């Protein structure tokens, strides 16, 4: 157990320092993750000192992980999100349990958790805070990341791992599963007073989270530019008149035919709004309510049509099918083939063969 705690302390401290000096990204998400790594290093350190001195105070390091996963995901998804000074209350439950257990010398013990004594009220408060913290933050984080993934096709013409936050979604689900099992076993421990869940499991899992967030946190970049993001629900009540929609639609279609912005794989609705000098929410509303397609579908249909043209163009006869896909704005073979087949019902090679016959 002690070895695990010192490894955890060293790894969390090292990762925190790495984020400060190596990843020179001043985004809020990185600041939140860096702060968490240093706090968790402190948690491993204090628990390690406790055990080396023959003590083991009541603690719950996940009381600081719960708000982390919420604020970290929130700051990644919303580029304009900022923390307010009063939001410090989110760390109060962790500080309350940590300092309270030390001041009152309340040990971590499941065998006499329900024993009636002077610390009963504190232990009951600990249990209630832990459960509500876990449910409130993790469920909200799961919903936020899921909504973000759904809304990606309104924002980007190319979707890759860097923006889907698939790794974070997996971590949240993995965490919720682990904690649900842990709480069930914890209740069993208290009722039958037989240890089925050891503290070493908690810190081993926490160390795993440190490795995951250190690795993926370093790789994760900003998803959105720092601009206003749209809420897809607002298009249920359109703000554009029919004449305005028709005018903007003509401008959009004409621009795509003439300038072919879809040939750039990094095209986003923010880029397009700048190019057309139109508000982003106006374009999104037009696409969703008038054209009946999200941004991803709209752009990639143009790319597919461009591929069709180049497949029969003698000037591109020496190009491979994959090369033509990249020329037309697709940034990966997998997305190219998936979009093309979904649009035409055939793979690019099948379509090319059907033209020759």
The average pLDDT across 111-134 equals 79
Specify whether the CB–CB gap between 90 and 67 falls below 8 A.
Answer: yes
The domain boundary residue, chosen from 190, 219, 248: 219
Whether 227 is in a domain gets the answer no
Contact call for residues 93 and 129 (beta carbons, < 8 A) = yes
Q: Among 192, 219, 246, which residue terminates a domain?
A: 219
Residues 212 and 319 in one domain: no
The answer to the question of residue 224 being in a domain is: no
For residue range 124-152, list pLDDT tens digits in order: 898 899 999 999 999 999 999 999 999 99
Model confidence, pTM: 0.83
Contact 75, 81 (CB under 8 A): yes
On the question of pLDDT at 233 being above 50, the answer is no
**Residue finishing a domain among 194, 219, 244:** 219
CATH, residue 314: 1.10.10.60
Residue 126 lies in a domain: yes
pLDDT of residue 190: 66
Residue 106 lies in a domain: yes
pLDDT digits (tens, 9 = 90+) for 37-61: 999 999 999 999 988 888 878 888 9
Both tokens of residue 282? 């106006």
Same domain (yes/no): 260, 136: no
- Model confidence band, residue 345 (pLDDT cutoffs 50, 70, 90): very high
Does residue 191 lie in a domain region?
Answer: yes
Same structural domain, 316 and 192: no
Across all residues in the chain, what is the average pLDDT? 87
Q: Does residue 202 belong to any structural domain of this protein?
A: yes
The pLDDT of residue 354:
87
Q: Residue 235's pLDDT is what?
A: 44
In 222-254, which positions are buried (b, 16+ CB within 10 angstroms) versus exposed (e)? bbbeeeebbebeebeeeebeeeebeebeeebee
pLDDT digits (tens, 9 = 90+) for 73-111: 999 998 889 999 999 999 999 999 999 988 888 877 655
Tokens 């949240």 found at: 172
Residue 263 DSSP code: G
Query: For residue 237, what are the contacts with CB-CB under 8 A and spacing of at least 6?
Result: none
How many folded domains does the chain comprise? 2
How many Cα atoms are found within 13 Å in the side-chain-facing hemisphere of 273?
22
Q: Are residues 179 and 304 in the same domain?
A: no
Same domain? 239 vs 210: no
The tens digit of pLDDT for each residue in 268-293 reads 999 999 999 998 888 988 998 889 99
In the prediction, which pLDDT does 111 show? 56
Looking from the CA of 185 toward its CB, the CA atoms found within 13 Å total 13
- Which residues on adjacent β-strands are paired with residue 268? 156
Rounded distance between C-alpha atoms, residue 240 and residue 310, angstroms: 37
Q: How far apart are CA 257 and CA 262, in angstroms?
A: 10
Residues 113 and 252 in one domain: no
With contact defined as beta carbons under 8 Å apart, do 2 and 48 qualify?
yes
User: What is residue 200's predicted lDDT score, i.e. its pLDDT?
Assistant: 82
Question: Do 343 and 264 share a structural domain?
Answer: yes
- Of 138, 99, 101, whose CA–CA distance to 121 is shortest? 101
Looking at the chain, how many residues does it have?
A: 357
* CB contact set of 47 (below 8 Å; sequence gap of 6+): 5, 56, 59, 203
247 contacts 286 by C-beta, under 8 angstroms: no
pLDDT band at residue 119 under the 50/70/90 scheme: confident
- Helix residue ranges, H only, the chain: 2-21, 28-52, 62-77, 92-104, 120-151, 161-164, 166-192, 199-219, 242-259, 269-276, 280-285, 295-311, 321-327, 333-344, 348-356
Buried b / exposed e across 277-310, counting CB within 10 Å, b at 16+?
eeebbbbbbbbbebeeebbbbbbbebbbebbbeb
Let me know whether 248 and 170 are in one domain: no
pLDDT tier, 320 (very low <50, low <70, confident <90, very high otherwise): very high
Res 356 pLDDT > 80: no
pLDDT at 258 (0 to 100): 94
DSSP 8-state code for residue 229: P
Instruction: Tell me if 281 sits within 8 A of 230, measured CB to CB.
Output: yes
Q: Provide the 8-state DSSP code for 227.
A: S
Pair (44, 130) in one structural domain? yes
Residues 263 and 211 in one domain: no
Question: Does residue 254 belong to any structural domain of this protein?
Answer: yes
Residue 124's pLDDT is 85
CB 70 within 8 A of CB 240: no
What's the pLDDT tens digit per position in 6-28? 999 999 999 999 999 888 778 89
Quick one: 268 and 295 in the same domain? Answer: yes
Question: How many other CB atoms are there within 10 angstroms of residue 329's CB atom?
Answer: 24
For residues 292 and 342, state if they share a domain. yes
Q: pLDDT-derived band of residue 116, with 50, 70 and 90 as boundaries? A: low
Q: What is the pLDDT of residues 171-211, one digit of tens each?
A: 999 999 999 988 887 777 767 665 545 678 888 999 999 99
Residue 104 has which token pair? 């009152």
Q: What's the mean pLDDT in 315-319?
A: 90
Does residue 226 lie within any of the structural domains? no
Range of the domain at 238: 232-356
């Amino acid at each position: 157990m002690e070895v695990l705690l010192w490894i955890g302390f060293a790894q969390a401290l090292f990762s925190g320092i790495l984020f400060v000096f190596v990843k020179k990204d001043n985004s809020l998400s990185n600041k939140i993750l860096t702060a968490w790594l240093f706090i968790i290093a402190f948690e491993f350190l204090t628990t390690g000192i406790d055990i080396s001195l023959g003590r083991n105070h009541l603690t719950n390091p996940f009381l600081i992980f719960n708000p982390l996963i919420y604020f970290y995901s929130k700051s990644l998804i919303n580029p304009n999100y900022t923390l307010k000074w009063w939001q410090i209350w989110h760390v109060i439950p962790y500080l309350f349990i940590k300092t309270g257990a030390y001041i009152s010398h309340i040990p971590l013990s499941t065998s006499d958790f329900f024993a009636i004594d002077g610390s009963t009220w504190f232990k009951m408060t600990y249990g209630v805070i832990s459960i509500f913290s876990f449910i409130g933050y993790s469920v909200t984080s799961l919903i936020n990341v899921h909504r973000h993934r759904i809304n990606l096709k309104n924002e980007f013409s190319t979707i890759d791992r860097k923006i889907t936050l698939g790794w974070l979604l997996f971590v949240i689900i993995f965490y919720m599963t682990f904690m649900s099992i842990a709480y069930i076993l914890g209740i069993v421990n208290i009722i039958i007073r037989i240890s089925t869940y050891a503290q070493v499991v908690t810190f081993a899992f926490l160390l795993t989270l440190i490795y995951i967030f250190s690795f993926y946190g370093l790789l994760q970049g900003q998803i959105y530019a720092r601009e206003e993001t749209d809420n897809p629900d607002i298009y249920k009540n359109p703000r554009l008149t029919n004449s305005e929609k028709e005018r903007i639609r003509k401008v959009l279609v004409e621009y795509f035919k003439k300038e072919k912005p879809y040939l750039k794989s990094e095209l986003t609705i923010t880029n397009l709004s700048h190019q057309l000098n139109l508000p982003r929410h106006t374009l999104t509303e037009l696409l969703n309510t008038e054209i009946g397609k999200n941004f991803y579908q709209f752009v990639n249909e143009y790319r597919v049509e461009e591929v069709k043209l180049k497949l029969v163009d003698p000037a591109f006869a020496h190009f491979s099918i994959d090369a033509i896909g990249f020329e037309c704005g697709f940034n990966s073979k997998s997305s190219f083939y998936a979009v093309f087949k979904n649009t035409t019902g055939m793979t690019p090679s099948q379509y090319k063969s059907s033209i020759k016959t």
